[in-house]
């Protein structure tokens, strides 16, 4: 019988406990359980040393992802995935602004003190159904506060990414940032530059696809992080109307993927700068490469920006042009982006309504029918191959999409009119 990751994580705790060790669920999964969210994954903290963890579960079911830091992965059934098991520890100095130089295996109380925020510093015993809270996390969950454990400057200095994580937790849980924690982030915001682009991008993805994405952007700006990560947004931030419109647009998106939100952010940059004539036609690539986003995310956002005005006067567009755009897999995202911008500006949504209705009511065979002819057909008809072929086929395709021709004979006849002299 298949078991869930939660059931497997409880088995891990039970097995370690039966072997004579202390073991609890730890960190984010405890926080999520206490606020009624289903955890994305489960972590276990234990008094067992890495070697002892491997002995309890067997070498074949375990592997190390950071044994020097006390972390062993325990593999479960396919339905349950895996669980990270970490030995209670205290951290030494953080040299690189990310990882401690050394660790000392310790107690649950000491382990809690090394963690980032109080809401992430609690433990839970799934067998006794008890919470162990040495840092005031439960109280801050009830109060709706994201507070660094101990000295906030020290916590941020240890791992500079915690500045963005503080913003993400405050935004996604709709909490407030503790005053001292917020001040620490603001005073150290310039140091976000030492964090790898990949880690920064991962935090951006998680906060921008969340329904509170607008608040995340606001908090990032208040904390001095936003323009250090995407300086191109300065024109938007400095223009009150553009800034307000961006927030309205972000709020209107429904379960977007990251490329769509990223595209909307850059669309706001274009909107704020186009009058000044300072638009970078490669905006998506410039920002995306700097953040080391996935190629697909960059390409998708670039396509959205290239077609950001494609629905203007939609009802008057040639069918060929409209169909080519709506046949693209990103058409729903483009509709969402244009609608968000339109609603944010308080403009009439006739064009985007027209396109959305056309997409919903037009079959794929009409939107993207099989081509009537190919290059091979032109060769068989006696035309000499050459660079003109692509242009001819594109023009024939347009005629097909415009419903001007409907069969191969008509397509070849039209192609002959477009072909240069073949003598």
**pLDDT tens string 167-219:** 999 999 999 999 999 999 999 999 999 999 999 999 999 999 999 999 999 99
pLDDT for 102: 54
pTM of the model: 0.89
- Tell me the backbone φ, ψ of residue 75, rounded to 5 degrees: -85, 135
pLDDT for 104: 76
Q: CA-CA distance, 47 to 87, in Å (whole number)?
A: 6
Instruction: Decide if 130 is inside a domain.
Output: yes
Residue 96 binned pLDDT confidence (cut-offs 50, 70, 90) = low
The model's pLDDT over 295-329, given as tens digits with 9 standing for 90+, comes to: 999 999 999 999 999 999 999 999 999 999 999 99
Angle 60-62-66 (CA atoms, 0-180°, nearest 5)? 140
| Alpha carbon distances (Å) from 253 to 40, 80, 171, 345, 370 | 23, 32, 16, 15, 33
CA 316, 321, 326, 332 torsion-angle sign:
negative
Secondary structure of the chain in HEC code, one letter for each residue? CCCCHHHHHHHHHHHHHHCCCCEEEECHHHHHHHCCCCCCCCEEEECCCHHHHHHHHCHHHEEEEEHHHCEEEEECCCCCCEEEEEECEEECCECCCCCECCEEECCHHHHHHCCCEHHHCCEEECCCCEEECCCCHHHHHHHCEECECCCHHHHHHHCCCHHHHHHHHHHHCCCEECHHHHHHHHHHHHHHHHCCHHHHHHHHHHHHCCCCHHHHHHHHHHCCCHHHHCHHHHHHHCCHHHHHHHHHHHHHCCCCCHHHHHHHHHHHHHHHHHHHCCCCCCHHHHHHHHCCCCHHHHHHHHHHHHCCCCCCCHHHCCHHHHHHHHCCCCHHHHHHHHHHHHHHHCCCCHHHHHHHHHHHHCCHHHHCCCCCCCHHHHHHCCCCCCCHHHHHHHHHHHHHHCCCCCCHHHHHHHHHHHCCCCC
Give 49-52 contacts, CB < 8 A, sequence gap 24+. Answer: 49/87, 49/105, 50/87, 52/19, 52/21
Identify whether the C-beta of residue 112 lies closer than 8 Å to the C-beta of residue 75.
Answer: no
From 104, 119, 143, the end of a domain falls on 143
Instruction: Decide if 72 is inside a domain.
Output: yes
| Alpha carbon distances (Å) from 214 to 168, 178, 218, 224, 335 | 11, 19, 6, 16, 19
Domain count, the chain: 2
Instruction: Decide if 164 is inside a domain.
Output: no
Q: CA-CA distance, 287 to 266, in Å (whole number)?
A: 9
Segment 70-76 shows an average pLDDT of 93
Q: Residue 399 is part of which domain span?
A: 370-418
Chain mean pLDDT for the chain: 93
Backbone angle region of 293, left / alpha / beta, with phi > 0 → left and psi within -120 to 50 → alpha: beta
Residue 92 has pLDDT above 60, yes or no: no
Identify whether the C-beta of residue 98 lies closer than 8 Å to the C-beta of residue 161.
Answer: yes
Query: How is residue 254 written in tokens?
Result: 């429904």
Instruction: Decide if 227 is inside a domain.
Output: no
Instruction: Decide if 215 is inside a domain.
Output: no
Q: CA-CA distance, 36 to 27, in Å (whole number)?
A: 15
Instruction: Decide if 342 is inside a domain.
Output: no
Instruction: Decide if 116 is inside a domain.
Output: yes
Q: Give the CATH number of the domain where residue 62 resides.
A: 3.30.460.10
Among the listed residues 360, 319, 354, 316, the one whose alpha carbon sits nearest the alpha carbon of residue 338? 354
From 124, 143, 162, the end of a domain falls on 143
The CA dihedral of 207, 208, 210, 216, to the nearest 10 degrees, is 60
From 143, 170, 187, the end of a domain falls on 143
Residue 278 has pLDDT above 60, yes or no: no
- Tell me the backbone φ, ψ of residue 130, rounded to 5 degrees: -125, 145
Query: How is residue 67 written in tokens?
Result: 């044994």
The CA dihedral of 215, 216, 218, 219, to the nearest 10 degrees, is 110
Residue 19 has pLDDT above 70, yes or no: yes
Residue 101 has pLDDT above 70, yes or no: no
Residue 279 has pLDDT above 60, yes or no: no
Segment 370-399 shows an average pLDDT of 92
Residue 420 has pLDDT above 90, yes or no: no
Instruction: Decide if 50 is inside a domain.
Output: yes
């Amino acid at each position: 019988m298949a078991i869930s990751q939660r059931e497997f994580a409880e088995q891990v705790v039970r097995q370690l406990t039966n072997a004579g060790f202390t073991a609890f669920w730890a960190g984010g999964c405890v926080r999520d359980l206490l606020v009624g969210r289903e955890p994305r994954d489960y972590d276990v903290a234990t008094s067992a040393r890495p070697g002892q963890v491997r002995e309890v579960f067997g070498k074949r079911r375990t592997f190390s992802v950071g044994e020097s830091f006390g972390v062993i992965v325990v593999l479960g059934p396919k339905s349950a995935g895996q669980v990270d098991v970490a030995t209670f520890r205290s951290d030494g100095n953080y040299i690189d602004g990310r990882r401690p130089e050394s660790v000392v295996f310790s107690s649950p109380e000491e382990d809690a003190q090394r963690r980032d925020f109080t809401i992430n510093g609690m433990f839970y015993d799934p067998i006794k159904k008890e919470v162990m809270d040495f840092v005031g996390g439960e109280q801050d969950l009830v109060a709706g506060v994201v507070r660094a454990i101990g000295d906030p400057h020290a916590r941020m200095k240890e791992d500079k990414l915690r500045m963005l994580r503080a913003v993400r937790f405050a935004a996604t849980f709709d909490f407030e940032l503790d005053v001292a924690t917020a001040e620490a982030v603001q005073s150290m915001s310039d140091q976000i530059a030492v964090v790898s682009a990949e880690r920064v991008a991962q935090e951006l993805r998680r906060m921008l696809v969340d329904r509170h994405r607008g608040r995340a952007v606001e908090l990032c700006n208040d904390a001095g992080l936003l323009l250090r990560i995407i300086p191109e947004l300065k024109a938007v931030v400095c223009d009150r109307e553009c800034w307000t419109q961006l927030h309205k647009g972000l709020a209107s998106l429904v379960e977007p993927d990251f490329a769509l939100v990223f595209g909307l952010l850059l669309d706001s940059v274009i909107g704020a700068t186009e009058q000044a004539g300072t638009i970078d036609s490669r905006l998506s690539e410039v920002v995306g490469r700097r953040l080391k986003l996935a190629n697909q995310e960059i390409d998708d956002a670039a396509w959205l920006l290239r077609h950001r005005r494609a629905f203007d006067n939609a009802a008057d567009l040639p069918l060929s042009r409209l169909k080519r755009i709506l046949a693209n897999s990103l058409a729903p995202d483009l509709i969402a982006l244009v609608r968000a911008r339109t609603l944010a500006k308080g403009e009439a949504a006739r064009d985007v309504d027209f396109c959305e209705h056309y997409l919903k009511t037009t079959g794929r065979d009409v939107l993207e029918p099989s081509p009537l002819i190919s290059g091979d057909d032109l060769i068989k008809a006696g035309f000499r191959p050459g660079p003109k072929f692509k242009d001819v086929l594109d023009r024939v395709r347009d005629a097909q999409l415009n419903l001007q021709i409907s069969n191969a004979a008509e397509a070849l006849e039209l192609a002959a009119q477009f072909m240069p002299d073949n003598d």
